[in-house]
Amino acid sequence: MRNMRIPMARRRAMAVVAAVLLAGGVAACGNSDTGGDGGDDGKLVLGFSQVGAESGWRTANTNSIKEAAAEAGIELKFDDAQQKQENQIKAIRNYIQQKVDVIAFSPVVESGWDTVLKEAKDAGIPVILTDRAVDSADKSLYKTFLGSDFVKEGRLSGEWLVENKKDATGDVNIVELQGTTGSAPANDRKKGFAEAIAADPKLKVIASQSGDFTRAGGKQVMEQFLKAHPKIDVLFAHNDDMGLGALEAITAEGKVPGKDITIITIDAVKDGMQALADGKFNFIAECSPLLGPQLMDLAKKVHAGEEVPPRIETEETTFTQEQAKEALPNRKY
């Protein structure tokens, strides 16, 4: 028996070797770099390229996606493109190289995606568009789109204005703060709004410029509008943040927002809803950022090879000042 005994030092060394071998084996089985069959622990790996952090809406959207991934047991690889298309293309190429299971992204602009989407398709990685669409003619380059009807948001804003100004006499001068140039929400909201206000010829857009969906951009462009145009009756801002930035420019000019200038925005994030409840904004068309749970569900389905609808639209509403007062206490973002 004495000859069979293994000395303590040797037993410890053997235990260390066994542990190293075991860890190596687990990594080799479950590593996402080895073939797109899930990450550590066999979790589905989702590569997500976010537009940036330009607005309150975007922050709420990022939080929704991160929380939903954790809840769904999905390994999320997240990249913030800082509102640059080249950064998004780089991130998508990295995800292809890492052999993630599914790629999702919110395209900063509509055009210029065909090459990288083809690379993902050739690598056998399904792509989901969230929030913003692309203008690719080849719809087989992505599995589905999940997001809002931006044309409808613009149209609802315009229809409210037509009704609100129906008794006004003389021209109603409108300035428009557009979102990021070339982005789906900027293109579509502009279109929907223009179509709706065409119903009343006295409603005239006298200036329209991009504020890039940021507060700083909204403030700066509104300052220019106020300098160039002595009579501004209405501001249509493509999101709350630009509207909030514009408030600073308007009050600095000695004008009363919500009274001297009627303000319509889109999103309905908490700060926007507060401005509406306070009477500084007049109307908001909602755009929901809470896309995370539906996105995770879709990621699981496309990974499993299930059929999904080509377009899934979020349910949204609109808010007047009175409705904002009611909704504000329960607003989560």
**Contacts to ligand AHR by CB under 6 A:** 54-55, 57-58, 131-132, 185, 213, 239, 241, 266-267, 287
Kindly state the smallest distance separating residue 28's Cβ from ligand AHR, in Å.
40
DSSP 257: B
Residue with Cβ nearer ligand AHR (178 or 239) = 239
Kindly state the smallest distance separating residue 227's Cβ from ligand AHR, in Å.
26
The residue length of the chain stands at: 333
List the beta bridge partners of residue 176: 208, 236
Kindly state the smallest distance separating residue 310's Cβ from ligand AHR, in Å.
19
Kindly state the smallest distance separating residue 189's Cβ from ligand AHR, in Å.
8
Whole-number Cα distances in Å, 41 to 75, 76, 101, 165, 255: 10, 13, 14, 60, 59
Residue with Cβ nearer ligand AHR (44 or 319) = 319
Q: How far apart are CA 48 and CA 63, in angstroms?
A: 13
Residue with Cβ nearer ligand AHR (239 or 262) = 239
DSSP 205: E
Residue with Cβ nearer ligand AHR (32 or 288) = 288
Kindly state the smallest distance separating residue 55's Cβ from ligand AHR, in Å.
4
Give per-residue burial for 129-168: e unless 16+ CB within 10 Å, then b: bbbbbbebeeeebbbbbbbbbbbebbbbbbbbbbebbeee
Contact 142, 127 (CB under 8 A): yes
Sign of CA dihedral 88, 53, 144, 178: negative
Residue with Cβ nearer ligand AHR (46 or 244) = 244
